[in-house]
Amino acid sequence: MEVRTTTIPGLTFSVQVEEVNYRDSFGGLICYMATLYRIDMKTSARHLIRRSRIPGAAAEMKREFERDGIQAFRRLERA
């Protein structure tokens, strides 16, 4: 099982993308889970924002932050 964690820092909070891949011995995908958390700067508490079981969803979430920049953070701040 492979777990990849990417943290995107922000001004008021950070966003953490956690991606879990579990493959069989032949390389076939058994389980995939991408989870998006908002991390509060003061308390370091993680708040679940979005979860997806679609392979490649973590890359899509990262692209959204790269494309929209501060606007993506503002949308998540209201969530």
Confidence tier at 58 by pLDDT (50, 70, 90) = confident
The model's pLDDT over 6-43, given as tens digits with 9 standing for 90+, comes to 888 877 788 888 989 888 889 888 888 988 898 988 89
Confidence tier at 60 by pLDDT (50, 70, 90) = confident
Domain count, the chain: 1
Give long-range contacts, CB 8 A cutoff, 24+ apart: 64-69.
Answer: 65/8, 65/15
Percent of the chain with pLDDT strictly greater than 70: 91
pTM, to two decimals = 0.74
User: Which runs of E-coded beta strand occur in 24-72?
Assistant: 29-40, 46-52
Strands 2-8 and 29-40: unpaired
What is the pLDDT of the chain when averaged over all its residues?
Answer: 83
Host domain of residue 36 = 2-78
